[in-house]
Structure 1
Amino acid sequence: MENQKSETYDIIEVCLLAGKIMLQSGGETYRVEDTMMRIAAAFGIDKTHSYVTPTGIIFSAEGSEPTKTKLIRILSRSTDLKKVAMVNSISRKITSGETNLEEALILLKELDALDVTFPFMVQVAAASIASGCFMIMFRGEWNDFIPAMITGGLGYLGFLYFHRFVPIKFFSEFLASFIIGLLALIFIELGIGHQLDKIIIGSVMTLVPGLLVTNAVRDLMAGHLVSGLSKGAEAVLTAFAIGSGIAVVLSFI
């Protein structure tokens, strides 16, 4: 009986760890719940209940003994879809019987500690190129491509730098958009840039919470109202931070 009780808690720990990694990495609420329930079923627990929000997960398992419930808090969230895919891969191995409980726990702990994000400068370079391409996509002129690249790259660099010292994302996004607006205005004043609006629009696109909006709509459509509304509110707050930073700069004109 004691061994069975201990195994149940280990199964719950594996399920919660998988859900935590996915939720922290930008996974949708329905995907997190489905993955946890599939893992539990693969280990012999068919009756499970989960309640997932962007800031926490509650998971319970029913069996012959009293129902066991555990809560885990989610303190930080980012966009790392590679980790989501890796958790899905581990989940498939569990359901197919290729991985046992102990191996799954070890794999998930290693994945949780693994940093699979791109190097700092690679992120900045990607943001820089994306800013120039977004500017062209919004029908900007090619002679504004380089100013948009520089503006977007330095703006995203500021976002990453400020976020290291200020854990509140709103202020990091506000300062990054302020830098973008200021640099775009400087390029226009120097005669290097020509279309202020297009340079700003292309540069701020790297800060726009596209995945957050998509997940919010997807969760609302799936009936996860709390998660959908909270993610939507977070996306609105991000949009407000970006707009406020640009508005402060434009008020100088």
Structure 2
Amino acid sequence: MGNQVEQTYDIMEVCLLAGKIMLQSGAETYRVEDTMMRIASSFGIVKTHSYVTPTGIIFSAESSEPTKTKLIRISERSTDLKKVALVNSISRNISSGTINREQALEQLNEIDSMDISFPLSTQVAAATLASGCFMIMFKGGWNDFIPAMISGGLGYLSFVCFHRFIPIKFFSEFLASFVIGLLSLIFVKMGVGHQLDKIIIGSVMTLVPGLLVTNAIRDLMAGHLVSGLSKGAEAFLTAFAIGAGIAVVYSFS
């Protein structure tokens, strides 16, 4: 009896760790719930219930003993779709019987501890190039390509640096958008840039919460109203922070 209870808790630990990694890496709510339920079913626990929000996961399992419930808190969220894909791969291996519970837990702990994000220099370089390309996509002139690249790259770098010292995302996004607007205004005043609005639009696109908006809509369509509304509110705050930072700069011009 005690061994079976311990085994159930071990299975729940695997499910919660998989859900935690996926939720922290930007996965949708319904995907997290489906993955945890599939893993539990593959290990022999058919009746499971999960409640997932952007800030926490509640998971319960029904077996021959009384229902067991565990809660895990999610404090940090980012975008790392490679981790989501790795967890999905482990889930498929569990379903096919390729790996057992101990192997799955070991692999999940490795994924949770690893840092597979791109180096900061690569991220800034990608943001720099993307800012110039977004500016052209919004019908800007090629003579503003370089100013948009510089503003967008330095703006994204400032966002990363501010976020390390100011853990509140709203303020780091506000300050980053302020830097972008200020640099764009300086380029236009110096005569290097010409269309201030196009430069700013292209530069701030690296801060726009595109994945967050997409996940909010998909969660709402899937019936996860709490998660969908909370993610939508988070996306709105990000958009408000970006707009407020640019508005402050425009008040100077």
TM-score of the superposed pair, with normalisation by structure 2: 1.00
1:144-195 residue CA offsets vs partner (Å, 9 max, x unmatched):
1110000000000000000001000000000000000000000000000011
Structure-1 residue corresponding to 2:76? 76
What is the CA–CA distance in structure 2 between the aligned matches of 1:114 and 1:35, rounded to whole Å?
A: 21
CA distance in 2, matches of 1:16, 1:223: 21
| Residue deviations 1:31-54 (CA, integer Å, cap 9, x gap) | 000000000000000000000000
Structure 2 residue 35 is matched with structure 1 residue 35: yes
Superposition map of 1:39-58 within 5 A: 39-58=39-58
Partner of 1:251, secondary structure, is: helix
Question: Which residue identity lines up with residue 114 of structure 1 in the other structure?
Answer: M
Q: Deviations over 1:186-228 (max 9, x none)?
A: 0000000011000000000000000000000000000000000
Match of 1:217 in 2: 217
Hey, what's the Cα distance between the residues in 2 that align with 1:213 and 1:250?
Answer: 26
Cα distance in 1 for residues equivalent to 2:47 and 2:110? 28
Return the alpha-carbon distance in structure 2 between the equivalents of residues 59 and 52 of structure 1: 8
Separation (CA, whole Å) in 2 of partners of 1:124 and 1:15: 35
Equivalence for 2:230: 230
Aligned partners of 1:23 and 1:247: how far apart in 2?
33
Q: How many residues align?
A: 253
Deviation at 1:135?
A: 0.3
The equivalences for 1:9-158 within 5 A come to: 9-158=9-158
Partner amino acid, structure 2, of 1:11: I
SS at match of 1:61: strand
Provide the residue aligned with 1:6 in structure 2. 6
CA deviation after TM superposition for structure 1 residue 56, in Å? 0.1
Structure 2 CA distance for aligned equivalents of residues 110 and 104 of structure 1: 10
| Cα deviation, residue 136, structure 1 | 0.4
Letter of the 1:240 counterpart: F
Structure-2 separation of matches of 1:239 and 1:233: 10
Please state whether the residue corresponding to 1:4 is helix, strand or coil.
helix
Task: Specify the alignment match of 2:165 in structure 1.
Answer: 165
Q: Which amino acid aligns with 2:50?
A: S
Percentage of matched positions with identical amino acids: 80
Query: Is 1:244 aligned to residue 240 of structure 2?
Result: no
Aligned to 2:59, what secondary structure does the other structure show? Answer: strand
The CA distance in 2 between the partners of 1:239 and 1:151, in whole Å, is 18
Residues in 1 aligned to 2:106 and 2:165: alpha-carbon distance in whole angstroms: 32
Whole-angstrom CA distance in 1 between matches of 2:235 and 2:189: 32
Distance 1:132 1:149 in 2: 5
Which residues of structure 1 form unaligned runs of 5+?
A: none
CA distance in 2, matches of 1:108, 1:118: 20
* Secondary structure class of the residue paired with 1:45: coil
Q: How far apart are the structure 2 equivalents of 1:82 and 1:166? A: 26
Calculate the aligned-residue CA RMSD, in Å. 0.4
- Spell out structure 1 runs of 4+ moving beyond 6 A: none
SS at match of 1:58: strand
Q: Distance in 2 between matches of 1:145 and 1:96?
A: 51
Read off the aligned partner of 1:187 and give its amino acid letter.
Answer: F
Structure 2 letter corresponding to 1:189 = K
Q: After TM superposition, give the deviation of residue 2 of structure 1 in Å.
A: 1.0
- The CA distance in 1 between the partners of 2:206 and 2:163, in whole Å, is 15
